Amino acid sequence: SVALPCSPCKDKALRCYTCVADGEDECNRQGSSTCPKYADACATVMGLNTLVKSCSYKSFCDKAHHGGEDVRMECCFTDDCNGPHLSHSHRGGHSATGVLSSSPALVLGALLLLHLAFGKP
């Protein structure tokens, strides 16, 4: 039998850059955080004037592969992979890039993930 990697099963939680900003530099200055237990992806959501980086889930990333032009989502699966080197990423792990449809539901879903992961009660 072949052993498959199980991201949620690992002892150490994934770390991702987390921010909401209007540019890459401002976003990256906000730093990275430890993700919730079952988060298995780091996401970067790029809109017309907004950049959101957060912990995410591979299943959500997979659903983001629909047509559209206004919002793009990139996912990666290693610690801090959505950090400053995202556009030049060769640091292991693989990347899934998709374009979110212009449906507000998917954009709101990405923002909701960020809020659920790091919002304060």
In a domain, 74, yes or no: yes
Q: Does residue 102 register a pLDDT over 50?
A: no
Please give the pLDDT value at position 89.
Answer: 40
Query: Which residues make beta-bridge pairs with 120?
Result: none
Residue 84 backbone phi and psi in degrees, to 5: -55, -25
In a domain, 72, yes or no: yes
- pLDDT recorded at residue 90: 39
**What's the CATH code of the domain at 61?**
2.10.60.10
Can you give the residue range of the structural domain that contains 62? 12-85+93-118
Residue among 45, 115, 113, 48 nearest 76 (CA)? 45
pTM over 0.85: no
Q: What stretches of 36-103 adopt beta strand conformation (E)?
A: 41-46, 51-56, 71-76, 95-100
Q: Residue 1: inside a domain, yes or no?
A: no
DSSP string, 6-75: -GGGSSSPPEEE-EEESSHHHHHHT-EEEPPTT--EEEEEE-SS-EEEEEE-HHHHHHT----SSEEEEE
pLDDT (tens digit, 9 = 90+) per residue, 39-96?
Answer: 999 999 988 889 999 999 999 888 876 545 788 889 999 999 999 864 544 334 444 5
Identify whether 104 is part of a domain: yes
| 2 within domain boundaries | no
For 79, other C-beta atoms within 10 Å of its C-beta total 19
Which has more pLDDT, 121 or 85? 85
Instruction: Report the mean per-residue pLDDT for the chain.
Output: 74
